[in-house]
Structure 1
Protein backbone atom coordinates (compact mmCIF):
# COMPACT_ATOMS: atom_id res chain seq x y z
CA UNK A 1 0.00 0.00 0.00
CA UNK A 2 1.35 3.42 -0.99
CA UNK A 3 1.43 5.85 1.91
CA UNK A 4 0.86 9.53 1.25
CA UNK A 5 2.38 11.60 4.04
CA UNK A 6 0.81 14.84 5.24
CA UNK A 7 3.06 17.15 7.26
CA UNK A 8 1.12 17.39 10.52
CA UNK A 9 2.75 20.23 12.43
CA UNK A 10 0.01 22.87 12.17
CA UNK A 11 -2.72 23.92 9.76
CA UNK A 12 -5.18 21.97 7.63
CA UNK A 13 -3.48 18.57 7.65
CA UNK A 14 -6.61 16.78 8.93
CA UNK A 15 -8.58 18.04 5.94
CA UNK A 16 -5.95 16.69 3.55
CA UNK A 17 -5.92 13.31 5.25
CA UNK A 18 -9.72 13.24 4.96
CA UNK A 19 -9.20 13.63 1.21
CA UNK A 20 -6.64 10.78 1.09
CA UNK A 21 -8.54 8.74 0.11
CA UNK A 22 -11.72 10.70 -0.40
CA UNK A 23 -13.49 9.63 2.78
CA UNK A 24 -16.05 12.42 2.42
CA UNK A 25 -17.73 10.14 -0.11
CA UNK A 26 -19.47 6.87 0.67
CA UNK A 27 -17.76 4.11 2.66
CA UNK A 28 -17.71 1.70 -0.28
CA UNK A 29 -15.84 4.26 -2.40
CA UNK A 30 -13.40 4.73 0.52
CA UNK A 31 -12.74 0.98 0.59
CA UNK A 32 -12.36 0.94 -3.21
CA UNK A 33 -9.70 3.65 -3.04
CA UNK A 34 -7.73 2.04 -0.18
CA UNK A 35 -7.86 -1.59 -1.26
CA UNK A 36 -7.82 -1.45 -5.06
CA UNK A 37 -5.70 1.64 -5.61
CA UNK A 38 -3.60 1.08 -2.50
CA UNK A 39 -3.40 4.64 -1.17
CA UNK A 40 -3.58 5.80 2.43
CA UNK A 41 -2.85 9.15 4.09
CA UNK A 42 -0.67 9.30 7.23
CA UNK A 43 0.58 12.08 9.49
CA UNK A 44 4.25 13.10 9.34
CA UNK A 45 5.75 14.76 12.42
CA UNK A 46 9.30 13.36 12.57
CA UNK A 47 12.09 13.10 9.95
CA UNK A 48 12.27 9.31 10.10
CA UNK A 49 8.60 9.00 9.17
CA UNK A 50 9.39 10.38 5.71
CA UNK A 51 11.26 7.16 4.94
CA UNK A 52 7.96 5.27 4.89
CA UNK A 53 5.93 7.43 2.50
CA UNK A 54 5.87 7.58 -1.29
CA UNK A 55 4.71 11.19 -1.56
CA UNK A 56 4.04 14.17 0.69
CA UNK A 57 1.57 17.02 1.15
CA UNK A 58 2.65 20.18 2.97
CA UNK A 59 -0.66 21.78 4.02
CA UNK A 60 -1.80 25.33 4.53
CA UNK A 61 -1.42 27.01 7.89
CA UNK A 62 0.68 29.77 9.45
CA UNK A 63 3.94 29.42 7.57
CA UNK A 64 6.19 31.00 10.21
CA UNK A 65 4.79 28.74 12.93
CA UNK A 66 5.12 25.69 10.69
CA UNK A 67 8.72 26.62 9.86
CA UNK A 68 9.63 27.04 13.53
CA UNK A 69 8.10 23.66 14.39
CA UNK A 70 9.84 22.02 11.44
CA UNK A 71 13.15 23.49 12.56
CA UNK A 72 12.52 22.35 16.15
CA UNK A 73 11.91 18.78 14.96
CA UNK A 74 14.91 18.95 12.57
CA UNK A 75 12.65 18.27 9.59
CA UNK A 76 14.19 20.62 7.02
CA UNK A 77 17.15 18.39 6.00
CA UNK A 78 14.83 15.41 5.55
CA UNK A 79 12.26 17.47 3.63
CA UNK A 80 14.93 18.82 1.26
CA UNK A 81 16.27 15.31 0.67
CA UNK A 82 12.72 14.06 0.00
CA UNK A 83 12.30 16.72 -2.71
CA UNK A 84 15.74 16.00 -4.23
CA UNK A 85 14.87 12.29 -4.47
CA UNK A 86 12.13 13.19 -6.93
CA UNK A 87 9.23 12.02 -4.80
CA UNK A 88 5.96 13.91 -5.41
CA UNK A 89 5.32 16.82 -3.05
CA UNK A 90 2.27 19.08 -3.04
CA UNK A 91 2.31 22.36 -1.14
CA UNK A 92 -0.91 24.27 -0.48
CA UNK A 93 -0.81 27.90 0.69
CA UNK A 94 1.88 27.79 3.42
CA UNK A 95 3.15 24.61 1.76
CA UNK A 96 3.70 26.60 -1.44
CA UNK A 97 5.88 29.02 0.52
CA UNK A 98 7.88 26.08 1.91
CA UNK A 99 8.60 24.74 -1.58
CA UNK A 100 9.61 28.04 -3.19
CA UNK A 101 13.27 28.73 -3.92
CA UNK A 102 12.77 32.43 -3.24
CA UNK A 103 10.30 34.37 -1.09
CA UNK A 104 9.47 38.00 -0.46
CA UNK A 105 7.07 39.68 1.93
CA UNK A 106 8.72 37.83 4.80
CA UNK A 107 8.50 38.81 8.43
CA UNK A 108 11.62 40.26 10.04
CA UNK A 109 14.23 37.53 10.05
CA UNK A 110 12.41 35.57 7.35
CA UNK A 111 11.82 31.85 7.57
CA UNK A 112 13.61 28.75 6.42
CA UNK A 113 12.47 27.25 3.10
CA UNK A 114 12.62 23.72 1.73
CA UNK A 115 13.05 24.93 -1.84
CA UNK A 116 13.06 22.98 -5.09
CA UNK A 117 10.35 24.97 -6.88
CA UNK A 118 11.92 27.55 -9.21
CA UNK A 119 9.73 30.52 -8.36
CA UNK A 120 9.48 33.74 -6.41
CA UNK A 121 6.55 33.71 -3.99
CA UNK A 122 5.11 36.67 -2.12
CA UNK A 123 4.33 35.28 1.31
CA UNK A 124 1.24 37.37 2.05
CA UNK A 125 0.30 38.81 -1.34
CA UNK A 126 -3.46 39.00 -0.84
CA UNK A 127 -3.32 40.71 2.55
CA UNK A 128 -4.51 39.84 6.04
CA UNK A 129 -7.04 37.30 7.26
CA UNK A 130 -9.76 39.88 6.59
CA UNK A 131 -8.83 39.87 2.89
CA UNK A 132 -9.48 36.13 2.55
CA UNK A 133 -11.83 35.35 -0.34
CA UNK A 134 -13.21 32.71 -2.69
CA UNK A 135 -13.26 32.86 -6.49
CA UNK A 136 -13.70 30.72 -9.59
CA UNK A 137 -10.34 29.90 -11.21
CA UNK A 138 -9.83 28.77 -14.79
CA UNK A 139 -8.15 25.32 -14.66
CA UNK A 140 -8.13 23.84 -18.19
CA UNK A 141 -5.20 21.49 -17.46
CA UNK A 142 -6.94 20.07 -14.38
CA UNK A 143 -10.18 19.61 -16.32
CA UNK A 144 -8.30 17.92 -19.16
CA UNK A 145 -6.70 15.40 -16.79
CA UNK A 146 -9.52 14.92 -14.26
CA UNK A 147 -12.69 15.84 -16.11
CA UNK A 148 -15.35 18.13 -14.72
CA UNK A 149 -15.74 21.86 -15.33
CA UNK A 150 -12.88 24.08 -16.45
CA UNK A 151 -13.22 26.15 -13.29
CA UNK A 152 -12.31 25.40 -9.69
CA UNK A 153 -13.52 27.16 -6.56
CA UNK A 154 -10.37 28.63 -5.04
CA UNK A 155 -10.44 29.32 -1.30
CA UNK A 156 -7.75 31.90 -0.50
CA UNK A 157 -7.00 32.42 3.20
CA UNK A 158 -4.31 35.02 3.95
CA UNK A 159 -2.85 33.64 0.78
CA UNK A 160 0.49 33.89 -1.02
CA UNK A 161 0.94 34.34 -4.77
CA UNK A 162 3.70 33.47 -7.21
CA UNK A 163 5.26 36.48 -8.94
CA UNK A 164 7.91 34.77 -11.11
CA UNK A 165 8.54 31.23 -12.37
CA UNK A 166 11.48 29.54 -14.06
CA UNK A 167 11.39 27.92 -17.53
CA UNK A 168 10.66 24.43 -16.18
CA UNK A 169 7.57 25.51 -14.24
CA UNK A 170 4.14 24.88 -15.77
CA UNK A 171 1.49 27.42 -14.80
CA UNK A 172 -1.81 25.65 -13.98
CA UNK A 173 -3.86 28.64 -12.79
CA UNK A 174 -3.53 32.39 -12.44
CA UNK A 175 -5.70 35.15 -11.04
CA UNK A 176 -6.27 38.68 -12.38
CA UNK A 177 -5.73 41.53 -9.94
CA UNK A 178 -6.64 45.17 -10.68
CA UNK A 179 -3.39 47.09 -11.16
CA UNK A 180 -4.31 49.85 -8.72
CA UNK A 181 -5.32 47.37 -6.02
CA UNK A 182 -2.12 45.40 -6.57
CA UNK A 183 -0.04 48.57 -6.10
CA UNK A 184 -1.96 49.70 -3.01
CA UNK A 185 -1.80 46.31 -1.31
CA UNK A 186 1.80 45.53 -2.19
CA UNK A 187 3.86 48.72 -2.49
CA UNK A 188 7.15 46.94 -1.84
CA UNK A 189 6.77 44.05 -4.29
CA UNK A 190 9.49 43.89 -6.93
CA UNK A 191 10.14 41.79 -9.98
CA UNK A 192 6.66 41.84 -11.53
CA UNK A 193 6.34 44.15 -14.50
CA UNK A 194 3.24 46.19 -15.23
CA UNK A 195 0.86 44.47 -17.64
CA UNK A 196 -0.65 46.57 -20.39
CA UNK A 197 -4.17 47.54 -19.38
CA UNK A 198 -5.79 47.73 -15.98
CA UNK A 199 -5.06 44.23 -14.66
CA UNK A 200 -2.14 42.12 -13.55
CA UNK A 201 -2.12 38.34 -13.30
CA UNK A 202 -0.49 36.53 -10.43
CA UNK A 203 0.15 32.80 -10.53
CA UNK A 204 -1.74 30.62 -8.03
CA UNK A 205 -1.06 27.03 -9.15
CA UNK A 206 2.02 25.43 -10.72
CA UNK A 207 3.74 22.13 -11.41
CA UNK A 208 7.46 21.50 -11.83
CA UNK A 209 8.26 17.83 -12.32
CA UNK A 210 7.53 16.10 -9.03
CA UNK A 211 6.38 19.32 -7.33
CA UNK A 212 2.81 20.66 -7.27
CA UNK A 213 1.84 23.91 -5.54
CA UNK A 214 -1.41 25.81 -5.03
CA UNK A 215 -1.86 29.16 -3.29
CA UNK A 216 -5.43 28.19 -2.37
CA UNK A 217 -6.97 25.38 -0.29
CA UNK A 218 -8.52 22.54 -2.37
CA UNK A 219 -8.88 20.47 0.82
CA UNK A 220 -11.53 22.91 2.08
CA UNK A 221 -13.92 22.17 -0.79
CA UNK A 222 -15.84 19.09 -1.92
CA UNK A 223 -14.06 19.07 -5.29
CA UNK A 224 -11.43 16.31 -5.06
CA UNK A 225 -9.80 16.76 -8.47
CA UNK A 226 -6.55 18.30 -7.18
CA UNK A 227 -6.10 15.35 -4.81
CA UNK A 228 -6.74 12.93 -7.67
CA UNK A 229 -4.27 14.84 -9.86
CA UNK A 230 -1.62 14.58 -7.14
CA UNK A 231 -2.24 10.87 -6.55
CA UNK A 232 -1.66 10.27 -10.24
CA UNK A 233 1.69 12.04 -9.91
CA UNK A 234 2.53 9.60 -7.10
CA UNK A 235 1.48 6.48 -9.03
CA UNK A 236 3.35 7.66 -12.14
CA UNK A 237 6.49 8.15 -10.07
CA UNK A 238 6.23 4.62 -8.71
CA UNK A 239 5.80 3.23 -12.21
CA UNK A 240 2.27 2.13 -11.43
CA UNK A 241 -0.69 2.47 -13.73
CA UNK A 242 -1.71 6.08 -14.28
CA UNK A 243 -5.27 5.17 -15.28
CA UNK A 244 -6.73 6.27 -11.94
CA UNK A 245 -9.97 8.21 -12.37
CA UNK A 246 -11.29 10.90 -10.08
CA UNK A 247 -13.36 9.14 -7.46
CA UNK A 248 -17.05 9.45 -8.24
CA UNK A 249 -16.44 11.08 -11.62
CA UNK A 250 -18.06 8.25 -13.59
CA UNK A 251 -20.01 6.54 -10.81
CA UNK A 252 -23.64 7.01 -9.89
CA UNK A 253 -23.52 7.08 -6.09
CA UNK A 254 -27.18 8.03 -5.70
CA UNK A 255 -26.15 10.34 -2.91
CA UNK A 256 -27.30 13.84 -2.01
CA UNK A 257 -24.80 16.51 -2.98
CA UNK A 258 -22.45 17.50 -0.17
CA UNK A 259 -22.81 21.13 0.87
CA UNK A 260 -19.54 22.75 -0.12
CA UNK A 261 -18.79 25.14 2.72
CA UNK A 262 -15.09 25.65 3.54
CA UNK A 263 -13.82 25.65 7.10
CA UNK A 264 -11.66 28.70 7.69
CA UNK A 265 -8.66 28.04 9.90
Structure 2
Protein backbone atom coordinates (compact mmCIF):
# COMPACT_ATOMS: atom_id res chain seq x y z
CA UNK A 1 0.00 0.00 0.00
CA UNK A 2 1.30 3.46 -0.89
CA UNK A 3 2.06 5.88 1.91
CA UNK A 4 -0.70 8.34 2.53
CA UNK A 5 -0.33 12.07 3.08
CA UNK A 6 -1.76 13.75 6.16
CA UNK A 7 -1.93 17.52 6.42
CA UNK A 8 -0.79 19.43 9.49
CA UNK A 9 -2.12 22.95 9.88
CA UNK A 10 1.11 24.96 9.86
CA UNK A 11 0.10 28.23 11.49
CA UNK A 12 1.48 27.43 14.94
CA UNK A 13 2.25 24.38 17.07
CA UNK A 14 4.72 21.50 17.11
CA UNK A 15 4.40 20.52 13.47
CA UNK A 16 7.65 18.52 13.52
CA UNK A 17 6.51 16.36 16.45
CA UNK A 18 3.29 15.51 14.59
CA UNK A 19 5.33 14.75 11.45
CA UNK A 20 7.48 12.31 13.46
CA UNK A 21 4.33 10.67 14.90
CA UNK A 22 2.92 10.30 11.38
CA UNK A 23 6.17 8.74 10.18
CA UNK A 24 5.76 6.08 12.92
CA UNK A 25 2.42 5.09 11.33
CA UNK A 26 3.95 5.23 7.83
CA UNK A 27 2.27 8.42 6.65
CA UNK A 28 3.81 11.51 5.07
CA UNK A 29 3.23 14.94 6.61
CA UNK A 30 2.17 17.88 4.44
CA UNK A 31 2.21 21.45 5.79
CA UNK A 32 -1.17 23.14 5.29
CA UNK A 33 -1.02 26.94 5.06
CA UNK A 34 -3.47 27.61 2.21
CA UNK A 35 -6.73 26.07 0.97
CA UNK A 36 -5.00 24.40 -1.99
CA UNK A 37 -2.75 22.51 0.46
CA UNK A 38 -5.83 20.46 1.47
CA UNK A 39 -5.90 18.81 -1.95
CA UNK A 40 -4.39 15.34 -2.01
CA UNK A 41 -4.33 14.74 1.75
CA UNK A 42 -6.41 11.99 3.35
CA UNK A 43 -6.68 13.55 6.82
CA UNK A 44 -5.75 16.70 8.73
CA UNK A 45 -4.21 17.54 12.11
CA UNK A 46 -4.94 20.82 13.91
CA UNK A 47 -1.99 20.99 16.33
CA UNK A 48 -1.68 22.71 19.68
CA UNK A 49 -0.43 26.23 20.14
CA UNK A 50 -2.47 29.24 21.15
CA UNK A 51 -6.07 29.07 19.93
CA UNK A 52 -6.48 32.84 19.47
CA UNK A 53 -3.34 33.02 17.31
CA UNK A 54 -4.36 29.99 15.26
CA UNK A 55 -7.91 31.36 14.84
CA UNK A 56 -6.54 34.67 13.55
CA UNK A 57 -4.28 32.75 11.15
CA UNK A 58 -7.24 30.73 9.85
CA UNK A 59 -9.14 33.97 9.28
CA UNK A 60 -6.18 35.68 7.59
CA UNK A 61 -5.55 32.70 5.28
CA UNK A 62 -9.25 32.23 4.50
CA UNK A 63 -9.18 28.66 5.82
CA UNK A 64 -12.39 28.41 7.87
CA UNK A 65 -14.67 27.49 4.96
CA UNK A 66 -12.18 25.12 3.26
CA UNK A 67 -11.67 23.27 6.59
CA UNK A 68 -15.43 22.97 7.09
CA UNK A 69 -15.75 21.61 3.53
CA UNK A 70 -12.89 19.16 4.20
CA UNK A 71 -14.81 17.75 7.19
CA UNK A 72 -18.16 17.74 5.37
CA UNK A 73 -16.50 15.69 2.59
CA UNK A 74 -15.98 12.96 5.20
CA UNK A 75 -12.25 13.39 5.66
CA UNK A 76 -11.00 12.93 9.23
CA UNK A 77 -9.55 15.66 11.42
CA UNK A 78 -7.58 15.35 14.67
CA UNK A 79 -7.39 18.41 16.90
CA UNK A 80 -4.86 18.36 19.74
CA UNK A 81 -5.00 20.83 22.66
CA UNK A 82 -5.69 24.21 20.97
CA UNK A 83 -6.78 22.23 17.91
CA UNK A 84 -9.50 20.64 20.06
CA UNK A 85 -10.64 24.14 21.08
CA UNK A 86 -10.93 25.09 17.41
CA UNK A 87 -13.09 22.02 16.69
CA UNK A 88 -15.56 22.72 19.53
CA UNK A 89 -19.12 23.95 18.97
CA UNK A 90 -18.52 26.56 21.69
CA UNK A 91 -15.58 28.08 23.56
CA UNK A 92 -16.69 29.03 27.05
CA UNK A 93 -14.01 31.43 28.24
CA UNK A 94 -12.26 33.99 26.06
CA UNK A 95 -14.26 33.04 22.98
CA UNK A 96 -12.43 32.43 19.73
CA UNK A 97 -14.04 31.58 16.42
CA UNK A 98 -14.23 27.81 16.23
CA UNK A 99 -15.16 25.42 13.45
CA UNK A 100 -18.09 23.94 15.38
CA UNK A 101 -17.38 20.42 14.08
CA UNK A 102 -17.39 18.72 17.50
CA UNK A 103 -20.38 18.82 19.87
CA UNK A 104 -18.49 19.86 23.01
CA UNK A 105 -17.84 23.03 24.96
CA UNK A 106 -14.13 23.84 25.31
CA UNK A 107 -12.70 25.71 28.29
CA UNK A 108 -9.32 27.17 27.37
CA UNK A 109 -6.31 26.76 29.69
CA UNK A 110 -8.49 24.92 32.24
CA UNK A 111 -5.51 23.23 33.88
CA UNK A 112 -3.57 26.45 34.45
CA UNK A 113 -0.45 27.96 32.96
CA UNK A 114 2.67 26.46 31.36
CA UNK A 115 4.09 25.91 34.85
CA UNK A 116 1.12 23.68 35.66
CA UNK A 117 1.90 21.22 32.84
CA UNK A 118 1.72 17.53 33.77
CA UNK A 119 1.58 13.98 32.41
CA UNK A 120 -0.98 11.38 33.44
CA UNK A 121 -2.07 7.90 32.34
CA UNK A 122 -5.68 8.10 31.15
CA UNK A 123 -8.61 5.91 32.08
CA UNK A 124 -9.18 4.38 28.67
CA UNK A 125 -9.59 1.15 26.73
CA UNK A 126 -6.30 2.24 25.13
CA UNK A 127 -4.09 0.61 27.73
CA UNK A 128 -1.35 2.81 29.26
CA UNK A 129 -2.33 5.91 27.27
CA UNK A 130 0.10 8.51 28.63
CA UNK A 131 -1.18 12.06 28.22
CA UNK A 132 1.00 15.20 28.30
CA UNK A 133 -1.00 18.32 29.22
CA UNK A 134 0.42 21.80 28.51
CA UNK A 135 -1.95 24.73 29.19
CA UNK A 136 -4.62 22.23 28.27
CA UNK A 137 -8.29 22.89 27.65
CA UNK A 138 -11.09 20.98 29.32
CA UNK A 139 -13.99 19.54 27.32
CA UNK A 140 -17.46 19.86 28.83
CA UNK A 141 -21.00 18.84 27.90
CA UNK A 142 -20.23 16.33 25.15
CA UNK A 143 -23.27 15.86 22.92
CA UNK A 144 -25.02 12.51 22.40
CA UNK A 145 -22.96 11.65 19.30
CA UNK A 146 -19.63 12.26 21.02
CA UNK A 147 -17.80 9.14 22.22
CA UNK A 148 -15.47 9.68 25.16
CA UNK A 149 -12.42 7.48 24.48
CA UNK A 150 -10.30 8.51 27.46
CA UNK A 151 -10.67 10.43 30.73
CA UNK A 152 -8.35 11.89 33.34
CA UNK A 153 -9.84 12.72 36.75
CA UNK A 154 -13.27 12.07 35.25
CA UNK A 155 -12.88 14.68 32.49
CA UNK A 156 -12.94 13.73 28.79
CA UNK A 157 -9.44 14.07 27.30
CA UNK A 158 -9.90 12.12 24.06
CA UNK A 159 -13.18 12.20 22.15
CA UNK A 160 -14.57 11.20 18.78
CA UNK A 161 -17.60 12.32 16.81
CA UNK A 162 -17.79 10.54 13.47
CA UNK A 163 -14.46 11.24 11.79
CA UNK A 164 -13.55 14.11 14.11
CA UNK A 165 -11.05 13.28 16.88
CA UNK A 166 -9.91 15.62 19.63
CA UNK A 167 -7.44 15.34 22.48
CA UNK A 168 -6.89 17.93 25.19
CA UNK A 169 -3.35 16.60 25.53
CA UNK A 170 -0.40 16.30 23.12
CA UNK A 171 -0.20 12.74 21.71
CA UNK A 172 2.66 13.83 19.45
CA UNK A 173 4.95 14.31 22.48
CA UNK A 174 5.11 10.63 23.38
CA UNK A 175 6.19 7.45 21.65
CA UNK A 176 2.64 6.09 21.37
CA UNK A 177 1.40 6.21 17.75
CA UNK A 178 -2.12 4.89 18.42
CA UNK A 179 -3.99 8.19 18.11
CA UNK A 180 -2.26 9.13 14.86
CA UNK A 181 -2.89 5.55 13.72
CA UNK A 182 -6.61 5.90 14.47
CA UNK A 183 -6.68 9.07 12.35
CA UNK A 184 -5.27 7.06 9.44
CA UNK A 185 -7.79 4.25 10.05
CA UNK A 186 -10.62 6.77 9.78
CA UNK A 187 -9.19 7.92 6.44
CA UNK A 188 -9.80 4.39 5.10
The TM-score range, normalised by the shorter chain, is over 0.9
The number of residue pairs the alignment matches comes to 186
Residue by residue over 1:144-195, the C-alpha shift from the partner in whole angstroms, topping out at 9 and shown as x without a partner, is: xxxxxx121110000001111111110011121xxxxxxxxxxxxxxxxxxx
The 1-side partners of 2:33 and 2:119 are apart by 30
Question: Could you tell me which residue of structure 2 aligns to residue 133 of structure 1?
Answer: 118
Question: Could you tell me which residue of structure 2 aligns to residue 184 of structure 1?
Answer: none
Shift of 1:13: 1.4
Per the normalisation by structure 1, the TM-score is 0.68
Question: Could you tell me which residue of structure 2 aligns to residue 225 of structure 1?
Answer: 178
Answer yes or no: is 1:162 the counterpart of 2:139: yes
- Map residues 1-265 of structure 1 onto 2, 5 A cutoff: 1=2, 2-22=4-24, 33=26, 39-106=27-94, 110-140=95-125, 142=126, 150-176=127-153, 201-235=154-188
Structure 2: where are the runs of 5+ without partners?
A: none
The 2-side partners of 1:132 and 1:170 are apart by 25
More strand by share: 2
3-state secondary structure, aligned to 2:23: coil
Deviant stretches of 4+, over 2 Å: none
Shift of 1:51: 2.1
3-state secondary structure, aligned to 1:219: helix
Structure 1: where are the runs of 5+ without partners?
A: 23-29, 34-38, 143-149, 177-200, 236-265
Per the normalisation by structure 2, the TM-score is 0.94
Q: Are 2:43 and 2:183, in contact at CA under 8 Å, matched by a contact in 1?
A: no
Q: Are 2:158 and 2:168, in contact at CA under 8 Å, matched by a contact in 1?
A: yes
Q: Are 2:49 and 2:81, in contact at CA under 8 Å, matched by a contact in 1?
A: yes
3-state secondary structure, aligned to 1:52: coil
The 2-side partners of 1:58 and 1:94 are apart by 8
Question: Could you tell me which residue of structure 2 aligns to residue 191 of structure 1?
Answer: none
Q: Are 1:84 and 1:116, in contact at CA under 8 Å, matched by a contact in 2?
A: no
The 2-side partners of 1:18 and 1:115 are apart by 28
The 2-side partners of 1:123 and 1:80 are apart by 22
3-state secondary structure, aligned to 2:129: strand
